[in-house]
Structure 1
Amino acid sequence: MTVEQVEQGPRRVARTVEVPASADDVFALVADPHRHGELDGSGTVRGTVSGPQRLSQGAQFSVAMKQFGVPYRITSTVTRIEEGRLVEWRHPAGHRWRWELTALTPTSTRVTETFDYSTVSAVQGKVFELLGFPRQNAAGIEATLRQLASRFARA
Protein backbone atom coordinates (compact mmCIF):
# COMPACT_ATOMS: atom_id res chain seq x y z
CA MET A 1 0.00 0.00 0.00
CA THR A 2 1.35 3.38 -0.98
CA VAL A 3 0.14 6.62 0.55
CA GLU A 4 0.42 9.43 -1.97
CA GLN A 5 0.32 13.20 -1.65
CA VAL A 6 -2.64 14.89 -3.34
CA GLU A 7 -2.54 18.52 -4.44
CA GLN A 8 -5.78 20.26 -3.48
CA GLY A 9 -4.66 23.89 -3.40
CA PRO A 10 -3.26 26.29 -0.83
CA ARG A 11 -3.68 25.49 2.84
CA ARG A 12 -4.88 21.97 2.18
CA VAL A 13 -2.84 18.95 3.20
CA ALA A 14 -4.15 15.78 1.58
CA ARG A 15 -3.01 12.20 1.20
CA THR A 16 -4.65 9.23 -0.49
CA VAL A 17 -4.41 5.45 -0.42
CA GLU A 18 -6.21 2.49 -1.97
CA VAL A 19 -7.97 0.42 0.71
CA PRO A 20 -9.02 -3.21 0.15
CA ALA A 21 -12.61 -2.67 1.27
CA SER A 22 -15.90 -1.44 -0.11
CA ALA A 23 -16.69 2.27 0.12
CA ASP A 24 -19.65 1.36 2.35
CA ASP A 25 -17.40 -0.49 4.81
CA VAL A 26 -14.92 2.41 4.99
CA PHE A 27 -17.77 4.92 5.28
CA ALA A 28 -19.27 2.98 8.20
CA LEU A 29 -15.98 3.37 10.08
CA VAL A 30 -15.44 7.06 9.25
CA ALA A 31 -19.07 8.04 9.91
CA ASP A 32 -18.97 6.56 13.46
CA PRO A 33 -17.16 9.07 15.68
CA HIS A 34 -16.88 6.48 18.44
CA ARG A 35 -14.49 4.57 16.17
CA HIS A 36 -12.23 7.50 15.23
CA GLY A 37 -9.64 6.30 17.74
CA GLU A 38 -9.29 3.15 15.62
CA LEU A 39 -8.39 5.33 12.64
CA ASP A 40 -6.05 7.84 14.25
CA GLY A 41 -2.42 7.50 13.27
CA SER A 42 -1.41 10.82 14.85
CA GLY A 43 -1.72 9.64 18.44
CA THR A 44 -3.88 12.62 19.39
CA VAL A 45 -7.37 11.03 19.43
CA ARG A 46 -8.37 9.30 22.66
CA GLY A 47 -11.18 6.78 23.09
CA THR A 48 -13.59 9.07 24.93
CA VAL A 49 -16.20 10.28 22.43
CA SER A 50 -19.67 11.68 22.93
CA GLY A 51 -22.14 12.17 20.14
CA PRO A 52 -24.22 10.12 17.73
CA GLN A 53 -23.26 6.59 16.67
CA ARG A 54 -23.47 7.78 13.07
CA LEU A 55 -22.68 11.25 11.81
CA SER A 56 -25.20 13.31 9.85
CA GLN A 57 -25.35 16.85 8.47
CA GLY A 58 -24.97 19.33 11.35
CA ALA A 59 -24.28 16.64 13.96
CA GLN A 60 -21.82 17.45 16.71
CA PHE A 61 -19.42 15.09 18.39
CA SER A 62 -16.92 15.62 21.15
CA VAL A 63 -13.56 13.84 21.32
CA ALA A 64 -10.93 13.64 24.03
CA MET A 65 -7.57 14.58 22.53
CA LYS A 66 -3.96 14.99 23.63
CA GLN A 67 -1.37 17.12 21.87
CA PHE A 68 2.00 18.41 23.04
CA GLY A 69 1.37 16.31 26.17
CA VAL A 70 -1.74 18.32 27.07
CA PRO A 71 -5.14 16.60 27.27
CA TYR A 72 -8.15 18.54 25.99
CA ARG A 73 -11.60 17.98 24.51
CA ILE A 74 -12.98 19.38 21.26
CA THR A 75 -16.46 19.43 19.77
CA SER A 76 -16.63 19.30 15.99
CA THR A 77 -19.60 19.88 13.69
CA VAL A 78 -20.34 17.90 10.52
CA THR A 79 -20.38 20.33 7.58
CA ARG A 80 -20.87 17.86 4.71
CA ILE A 81 -21.83 14.25 4.43
CA GLU A 82 -22.67 12.14 1.39
CA GLU A 83 -23.58 8.53 1.99
CA GLY A 84 -20.73 6.21 1.09
CA ARG A 85 -18.63 9.06 -0.37
CA LEU A 86 -17.81 11.97 1.93
CA VAL A 87 -17.58 13.00 5.58
CA GLU A 88 -16.35 16.46 6.57
CA TRP A 89 -16.36 18.23 9.92
CA ARG A 90 -15.31 21.63 11.23
CA HIS A 91 -12.93 21.77 14.16
CA PRO A 92 -13.63 24.50 16.76
CA ALA A 93 -10.52 26.37 15.49
CA GLY A 94 -12.24 26.69 12.09
CA HIS A 95 -10.28 24.22 9.98
CA ARG A 96 -11.90 21.16 8.46
CA TRP A 97 -11.14 17.48 8.22
CA ARG A 98 -12.45 15.69 5.15
CA TRP A 99 -12.66 12.05 4.16
CA GLU A 100 -13.45 11.37 0.50
CA LEU A 101 -14.17 7.83 -0.67
CA THR A 102 -14.14 6.73 -4.29
CA ALA A 103 -15.20 3.18 -5.04
CA LEU A 104 -12.72 1.63 -7.49
CA THR A 105 -14.27 -1.84 -7.45
CA PRO A 106 -16.82 -3.48 -5.14
CA THR A 107 -13.93 -4.40 -2.81
CA SER A 108 -11.50 -1.52 -3.29
CA THR A 109 -11.81 2.17 -2.37
CA ARG A 110 -9.60 5.20 -2.89
CA VAL A 111 -9.58 7.08 0.44
CA THR A 112 -8.40 10.69 0.62
CA GLU A 113 -8.04 12.47 3.95
CA THR A 114 -7.59 16.25 3.98
CA PHE A 115 -6.63 18.77 6.64
CA ASP A 116 -8.12 21.97 5.18
CA TYR A 117 -7.12 25.18 6.87
CA SER A 118 -8.05 27.39 3.92
CA THR A 119 -11.19 28.27 5.91
CA VAL A 120 -9.31 30.14 8.67
CA SER A 121 -8.02 33.72 8.61
CA ALA A 122 -4.65 34.52 7.08
CA VAL A 123 -3.21 35.26 10.52
CA GLN A 124 -4.53 32.01 12.00
CA GLY A 125 -3.23 30.10 8.97
CA LYS A 126 0.22 31.61 9.51
CA VAL A 127 0.10 30.59 13.19
CA PHE A 128 -0.80 27.03 12.14
CA GLU A 129 2.21 27.04 9.80
CA LEU A 130 4.58 28.48 12.44
CA LEU A 131 3.44 25.77 14.86
CA GLY A 132 4.11 23.13 12.19
CA PHE A 133 0.52 21.87 11.93
CA PRO A 134 0.61 21.22 8.16
CA ARG A 135 3.73 19.05 8.49
CA GLN A 136 2.51 17.29 11.64
CA ASN A 137 -0.92 16.67 10.17
CA ALA A 138 0.58 15.33 6.93
CA ALA A 139 2.52 12.75 8.96
CA GLY A 140 -0.59 11.92 11.00
CA ILE A 141 -2.72 11.52 7.87
CA GLU A 142 -0.13 9.23 6.29
CA ALA A 143 -0.03 7.06 9.42
CA THR A 144 -3.82 7.02 9.61
CA LEU A 145 -4.21 5.94 5.98
CA ARG A 146 -1.57 3.21 6.34
CA GLN A 147 -3.35 1.97 9.46
CA LEU A 148 -6.72 2.06 7.67
CA ALA A 149 -5.43 0.10 4.67
CA SER A 150 -3.71 -2.46 6.92
CA ARG A 151 -6.84 -2.86 9.03
CA PHE A 152 -8.91 -3.89 6.03
CA ALA A 153 -6.11 -6.00 4.54
CA ARG A 154 -6.26 -8.14 7.71
CA ALA A 155 -10.05 -8.39 7.74
Structure 2
Amino acid sequence: MDGNSISNERFISAPPEKIFDILARPSRHHEIDGSGTVRKPSASSPERVKLGDEFRMAMKIGAPYMMVNKVIEFEEGKLIAWQPRAPWFIGNFIGGRIWRYELEPKDGGTLVRETWDVSQEKHRKAVDNDIVTTRVTAALESTLKRLEEVVGQTS
Protein backbone atom coordinates (compact mmCIF):
# COMPACT_ATOMS: atom_id res chain seq x y z
CA MET A 1 0.00 0.00 0.00
CA ASP A 2 1.30 3.42 -0.94
CA GLY A 3 0.33 5.77 1.87
CA ASN A 4 -3.30 5.57 2.91
CA SER A 5 -5.06 4.04 -0.06
CA ILE A 6 -5.19 1.52 -2.87
CA SER A 7 -7.04 2.31 -6.10
CA ASN A 8 -7.91 0.57 -9.33
CA GLU A 9 -9.56 1.85 -12.50
CA ARG A 10 -11.57 0.28 -15.28
CA PHE A 11 -13.21 1.68 -18.39
CA ILE A 12 -16.82 0.49 -18.63
CA SER A 13 -18.82 0.96 -21.84
CA ALA A 14 -21.87 2.45 -20.15
CA PRO A 15 -23.00 5.91 -19.06
CA PRO A 16 -22.04 6.99 -15.53
CA GLU A 17 -25.70 7.24 -14.46
CA LYS A 18 -26.27 3.54 -15.12
CA ILE A 19 -23.15 2.54 -13.18
CA PHE A 20 -23.88 4.94 -10.34
CA ASP A 21 -27.40 3.59 -9.91
CA ILE A 22 -25.98 0.14 -9.12
CA LEU A 23 -23.43 1.57 -6.66
CA ALA A 24 -26.13 3.61 -4.88
CA ARG A 25 -28.26 0.50 -4.24
CA PRO A 26 -26.96 -1.61 -1.32
CA SER A 27 -29.14 -4.51 -2.51
CA ARG A 28 -26.85 -4.75 -5.58
CA HIS A 29 -23.52 -4.71 -3.73
CA HIS A 30 -23.27 -8.49 -3.37
CA GLU A 31 -23.51 -8.75 -7.17
CA ILE A 32 -20.39 -6.65 -7.73
CA ASP A 33 -18.32 -7.55 -4.65
CA GLY A 34 -15.00 -9.01 -5.73
CA SER A 35 -13.90 -9.95 -2.21
CA GLY A 36 -16.56 -12.59 -1.64
CA THR A 37 -17.46 -11.09 1.74
CA VAL A 38 -20.60 -9.02 1.02
CA ARG A 39 -23.90 -10.83 1.62
CA LYS A 40 -27.03 -8.65 1.78
CA PRO A 41 -28.29 -5.43 3.36
CA SER A 42 -30.63 -5.49 6.32
CA ALA A 43 -34.33 -4.94 5.63
CA SER A 44 -34.09 -1.49 7.22
CA SER A 45 -31.47 -0.28 4.73
CA PRO A 46 -32.60 2.27 2.13
CA GLU A 47 -33.28 0.95 -1.37
CA ARG A 48 -31.11 3.75 -2.82
CA VAL A 49 -28.75 5.77 -0.66
CA LYS A 50 -27.91 9.47 -0.54
CA LEU A 51 -25.48 11.57 1.47
CA GLY A 52 -25.75 10.86 5.20
CA ASP A 53 -27.70 7.61 4.83
CA GLU A 54 -26.67 4.50 6.73
CA PHE A 55 -27.11 0.95 5.55
CA ARG A 56 -26.32 -2.27 7.36
CA MET A 57 -24.64 -5.03 5.40
CA ALA A 58 -24.38 -8.69 6.32
CA MET A 59 -20.81 -9.85 5.71
CA LYS A 60 -18.84 -13.05 6.05
CA ILE A 61 -15.14 -13.76 6.42
CA GLY A 62 -15.23 -17.16 8.06
CA ALA A 63 -17.92 -16.19 10.57
CA PRO A 64 -20.86 -13.96 9.63
CA TYR A 65 -20.94 -10.41 10.94
CA MET A 66 -22.66 -7.07 10.29
CA MET A 67 -21.24 -3.67 9.33
CA VAL A 68 -22.96 -0.27 9.46
CA ASN A 69 -22.02 1.86 6.45
CA LYS A 70 -22.50 5.62 6.35
CA VAL A 71 -22.56 7.44 3.00
CA ILE A 72 -20.01 10.22 3.52
CA GLU A 73 -19.51 11.47 -0.05
CA PHE A 74 -22.21 11.70 -2.70
CA GLU A 75 -22.42 13.51 -5.99
CA GLU A 76 -25.11 11.99 -8.20
CA GLY A 77 -23.60 10.19 -11.18
CA LYS A 78 -20.03 11.09 -10.20
CA LEU A 79 -18.96 10.14 -6.68
CA ILE A 80 -20.12 7.88 -3.88
CA ALA A 81 -18.24 6.77 -0.77
CA TRP A 82 -19.24 4.98 2.39
CA GLN A 83 -17.46 4.32 5.65
CA PRO A 84 -18.13 1.02 7.41
CA ARG A 85 -17.88 0.42 11.13
CA ALA A 86 -18.91 -2.36 13.43
CA PRO A 87 -22.33 -1.88 15.06
CA TRP A 88 -22.91 -0.83 18.65
CA PHE A 89 -20.02 0.20 20.91
CA ILE A 90 -17.59 -2.03 18.98
CA GLY A 91 -17.75 0.57 16.19
CA ASN A 92 -15.60 2.80 18.38
CA PHE A 93 -12.75 0.36 17.81
CA ILE A 94 -13.40 -1.36 14.47
CA GLY A 95 -13.94 0.42 11.17
CA GLY A 96 -13.16 3.72 9.57
CA ARG A 97 -11.89 2.65 6.17
CA ILE A 98 -13.60 4.28 3.21
CA TRP A 99 -14.83 2.65 0.01
CA ARG A 100 -15.00 5.29 -2.73
CA TYR A 101 -16.15 5.16 -6.36
CA GLU A 102 -15.41 8.00 -8.75
CA LEU A 103 -17.01 8.03 -12.20
CA GLU A 104 -15.59 10.07 -15.06
CA PRO A 105 -17.46 10.24 -18.37
CA LYS A 106 -15.33 9.32 -21.40
CA ASP A 107 -16.10 8.80 -25.08
CA GLY A 108 -18.09 5.58 -25.28
CA GLY A 109 -18.41 5.02 -21.55
CA THR A 110 -17.09 5.77 -18.08
CA LEU A 111 -13.77 5.49 -16.30
CA VAL A 112 -14.55 4.05 -12.85
CA ARG A 113 -12.03 4.38 -10.04
CA GLU A 114 -12.51 2.39 -6.85
CA THR A 115 -10.44 3.36 -3.82
CA TRP A 116 -9.91 1.68 -0.47
CA ASP A 117 -8.84 4.50 1.87
CA VAL A 118 -7.60 3.65 5.36
CA SER A 119 -6.61 7.18 6.42
CA GLN A 120 -9.36 7.11 9.08
CA GLU A 121 -9.11 3.42 10.02
CA LYS A 122 -9.48 2.94 13.79
CA HIS A 123 -7.23 -0.13 14.01
CA ARG A 124 -4.64 0.63 11.34
CA LYS A 125 -2.33 -2.26 12.25
CA ALA A 126 -5.07 -4.72 11.30
CA VAL A 127 -5.13 -3.50 7.69
CA ASP A 128 -1.61 -2.20 7.09
CA ASN A 129 0.17 -5.40 6.08
CA ASP A 130 1.07 -7.25 2.88
CA ILE A 131 -1.58 -9.95 3.25
CA VAL A 132 -4.44 -7.46 3.51
CA THR A 133 -3.15 -5.15 0.78
CA THR A 134 -2.67 -8.08 -1.61
CA ARG A 135 -6.24 -9.26 -0.97
CA VAL A 136 -7.67 -5.75 -1.32
CA THR A 137 -5.78 -5.13 -4.56
CA ALA A 138 -7.19 -8.33 -6.05
CA ALA A 139 -10.68 -7.54 -4.74
CA LEU A 140 -10.66 -4.07 -6.31
CA GLU A 141 -9.78 -5.52 -9.70
CA SER A 142 -12.40 -8.24 -9.38
CA THR A 143 -15.08 -5.81 -8.16
CA LEU A 144 -14.64 -3.52 -11.15
CA LYS A 145 -14.75 -6.49 -13.52
CA ARG A 146 -17.95 -7.71 -11.88
CA LEU A 147 -19.41 -4.19 -11.97
CA GLU A 148 -18.79 -4.13 -15.72
CA GLU A 149 -20.54 -7.50 -16.11
CA VAL A 150 -23.54 -6.45 -13.99
CA VAL A 151 -23.88 -3.15 -15.85
CA GLY A 152 -23.88 -5.10 -19.12
CA GLN A 153 -26.76 -7.26 -17.86
CA THR A 154 -28.84 -4.31 -16.63
CA SER A 155 -31.26 -2.77 -19.10
For structure 1, the residue ranges without an aligned partner over 5 or more in a row are 1-6
Quick one: which of 47, 59, 82 aligns to 1:65?
59
Q: 1:149 is paired with a residue of what secondary structure?
A: helix
Match of 1:110 in 2: 111
Alignment of 1:6-155 (within 5 A): 10-50=3-43, 51-67=45-61, 69-92=62-85, 93-105=95-107, 107-120=108-121, 124-130=123-129, 132-153=131-152
Shift of 1:115: 0.6
Structure 1 residue runs of 4 or more that deviate by more than 4 Å after TM superposition: none
- How many Å separate the matches in 1 of 2:41 and 2:82? 18
Moved more, 33-42 or 112-121: 112-121
Shift of 1:38: 1.0
The question of whether the paired residues in 1 share the 8 Å contact of 2:4 and 2:117 is answered with: yes
Aligned partner letter, 1:16: E
- How many Å separate the matches in 2 of 1:120 and 1:63? 18
Shift of 1:81: 0.2
Aligned-residue sequence identity (percent) comes to: 33
Q: Provide the TM-score with structure 2 as the length reference.
A: 0.85
The question of whether the paired residues in 2 share the 8 Å contact of 1:12 and 1:116 is answered with: yes
The question of whether the paired residues in 1 share the 8 Å contact of 2:18 and 2:151 is answered with: no
Q: 1:72 is paired with a residue of what secondary structure?
A: strand
Shift of 1:102: 0.5
For structure 2, the residue ranges without an aligned partner over 5 or more in a row are 86-94
The question of whether the paired residues in 2 share the 8 Å contact of 1:33 and 1:49 is answered with: no
Match of 1:3 in 2: none
Aligned residues: 144
Cα RMSD for the two superposed structures = 1.9
Q: Provide the TM-score with structure 1 as the length reference.
A: 0.85
Aligned partner letter, 2:27: H
Shift of 1:64: 0.5
- How many Å separate the matches in 2 of 1:12 and 1:64? 24
Shift of 1:73: 0.7
